[in-house]
Chain A
Amino acid sequence: MLKNIGSKIVSSIDERYDLTPVRNLLQHKKVPEHRHSVWYYMGGVTLFLFIVQLLTGILLLLYYRPGEDSAYESVRFIVTEVKFGWLIRNVHSWSANLLVLFAFVHMFSVFFSKAYQKPRELTWITGFIILVFSLAFGFSGYLLPWNELAFFATKVGTDIVGVVPVIGQPLKVLLRGGEDVTGATLSRFFGIHVAILPAIFTFFLALHLLFIQRQGMHEPEEFKNLPEEKKKYIPFFPDFALKDFLLWVVVFNVLIFLALYFPWELGNKADAFASAPKGIRPEWYFMFMFQSLKFLPAHILFIEGELLGVLFFGVAGLVWMMVPYIKIKHRSGWKFQPLTLIGIFVVIFIVIMTVLGYLL
């Protein structure tokens, strides 16, 4: 009976809007099956977490009130008084962190499987932009509860921006809405977090997904070299989609588990006149950069160490974004491709610096 109603609705829409392109896409899109197929799911999980962020973010907006005198109080109200408010806020915080984690995993899996190569250069670039905006989401959202740790972490974070020559200072003032981190910064970050970033993010996400739909999933080299009869594919719909959905359910369950058993502390309200509390740290995904800057000496050849570090990360980010256009000739004697070696080095660097950031 339900099936009948469903097909009636579909045929009525089909009659009016012609669903042939959608039907073709669903019927013909195929996903290659091989020993590295598991990495195909990472992007899907990231997308799912983005959807969770969007929905929980909208719910939080119903009660959150930006402002020096109301932000902290409203978040406290959400987690103490609002029905399921604690769950929504903690899921939002955990999902934000997992989103960045899965985005990194997704990016490195794409990097090491060389999926960014022609013709998927723009998919890589839009993906990288999405990652940068995810980090910006994290940075701006961190301040919104207006608690002590967030306040001082934002102070340190925006100070780092100020190091950049020429544009650094004006950019810092623009970000803070003045010389210092104040209520004006909070309003600004709120606007950035709930209006500016979602608009830009959604645009690049749509492009990213459109490119994937147009070009289909990337096939690894060894898969391409297989004879046709040994190549295995599964239809995107419903087979791959079912597996995707299964993983989403598991991730959602883990998310609720984390929200319940490891809630995010609200801490004390921000006080500009209080001394900075112990253990001010950026979010974990900024830790490798923060720790690297701490390791740099005050001056390196007449240039400020911190400035050099910030410039290095800026340039390194740009180079990483342009990876599809970098060609290094692979000599026959080499066991690994040079770019793969660089990628391994980058992963090791990020992991070691992050661990050191928490240990030291």
Chain B
Amino acid sequence: MRTRVFYLSTTVLLTIFLFGFAFQKTDNKTKQTPKVDNCLSCHKDIDDMPQGYSDYDVHRQAGLTCASCHGGDPSSTDQEAAMSPAKGYAGVPKRKDIPKFCGKCHSNIDYMRIYQPRIATDQVTQYYTSMHGKKLMAGDENVAECASCHTAHSIFPVKDPRATVYKLNIPSTCNKCHGNSELMKKYNLPSNQLEEYSKSVHGIALLKQNDLGAPACNDCHGNHGAMPPGITSISHVCGMCHSSNMEYFNATKMAKAFAEQDFHGCEQCHGNHGVQKPTDDMVGVGKNSKCVDCHDKGDVGYVAAEKIEAEIVQLKNNYDAATNKFLEVREKGMNDVDIGFLLQDAKQNLIQSRTLVHTFDPAKVVVKTKDGMNITNKAIMLSDKEISEYYTRRNGFAAATLAFLVIVIALYLKIKDKEKRKQA
């Protein structure tokens, strides 16, 4: 009997729990997608829509309503009832409250996974670790919060080209504040980053060539947790893409010396926002050399820099010579297939030699440049062979034509002779 009561009560409780759960879910959904959205219809009627409102906003497209963020009762046609605090109406959030306002949903994985199972929910946490977040918490309302970058009412997914945070749009989005010299002066920050970045190798790739693989501001500074990279983290930031360079650099004595003297890793030689495509004379002892900034004539680093530059320049010149020969072979319509493959290998060697500059060890660079020289020499040799074959063929044709001409003349004379004899 006792067991029966136990089973019965358990079943009843379980049923109530499941029903409750099911109702709660349904309730949740109906809350998001009410049949009538009186907020929108009234505000449209009286032409009092939020600035920059878009019907294609990601939240609107997902079925969220004004009330989903601002609270209130969208089913009511009475303004006071609809916008009553008793119905949860929160109105327009204050700037300092915006991160938490968005975080109500965006920090809640149970809620967010309904829309995107893999979405991150740590944006608000990260934000409060950023310089923007810290200053906002301290009461500075000039710094960026969620809506500063994402907008409030025309938010699009990050991969949508209409989004302010789409890769190609990020530099101009950050520049809205960071390009404002008046505003930046308060923080003792420069305001020409976009100008510098646009001329840099990264900026040209992203903004002119639309290469989405090139880094935008957030790739180095982070997005929600945005901070200027610290001295120790610079080589890691660059190393996210330039991994071999980072690995070689970090293994050198120079890396330690840099750290001791508070030098900015990669930035020390390459700069930051305005980073240019490196040239071979950045190493060496010439006027564009970065090595002579620290190394004096005669010291070990000076000698190493001189040797490394000489090796790379020699390979580069040989590679250019081989490329010119290859183009001549191609222009002459001869077989350029193998030469093309060799040049690909040689280019690989040249790139690797340049990367090995970051070991600051001439012996390591020489291993690669030597390989590269052997390959380019082979390409030049093959090209010469093809070019010589080109002329051999033409000379052969000239000789054959001469031989044929002799035969033709001989035949012609023989025919004429026969005709003459016949007439005689």
Contacts and interface: CB of A to CB of B under 8 A. Distances in A.
Interface stretch (A197-205, A255-263, A302-310): A255-263
B407 interface: yes
A239 B400 contact: no
Nearest to A245: B411
Nearest to B397: A260
Contacts of B412: 246
Interface string A38-81: 00000000000000000000000000000000000000100110
Contacts of A260: 393-394, 397
Interface in B373-418: 393-394, 397, 400-401, 404, 407-408, 411-412, 414-415, 418
B382 to A, nearest CB: 11
A246 B400 contact: no
Contacts of B407: 249
B181 to A, nearest CB: 52
Interface residues of A, number: 18
Q: How large is the interface on B (under 10, 10 to 19, 20 to 34, 35 or more residues)?
A: 10 to 19
Contacts, number: 38
Contacts of B404: 249-250, 252-253
Interface centre among A80, A87, A243, A263 (most CB of B within 10 A): A80
B408 A249 contact: yes
Nearest to A87: B393
Contacts of A318: none
B257 interface: no
Interface in A253-307: 253, 256-257, 260, 263
A347 interface: no
A239 B400 CA distance: 25
Given A239-B418, A260-B393, A249 B400 contact: no
B408 A246 contact: yes
B414 A242 contact: yes
A238 B414 CA distance: 10
A79 B412 CA distance: 36
B424 interface: no
Contacts of B401: 253, 256-257
A134 B102 CA distance: 79
A239 B416 CA distance: 10
A249 B408 CA distance: 7
B335 interface: yes
Interface of B: 333, 335, 337, 393-394, 397, 400-401, 404, 407-408, 411-412, 414-415, 418
26 contacts: A76-B337, A79-B335, A80-B337, A87-B393, A239-B418, A242-B414, A242-B415, A243-B411, A243-B415, A245-B411, A246-B408, A246-B412, A246-B415, A249-B404, A249-B407, A249-B411, A250-B404, A252-B404, A253-B400, A256-B397, A256-B401, A257-B397, A257-B401, A260-B393, A260-B394, A260-B397
Interface of A: 76, 79-80, 87, 238-239, 242-243, 245-246, 249-250, 252-253, 256-257, 260, 263
Given A253-B404, A256-B400, 5 more contacts: A80-B337, A239-B418, A242-B414, A242-B418, A253-B401
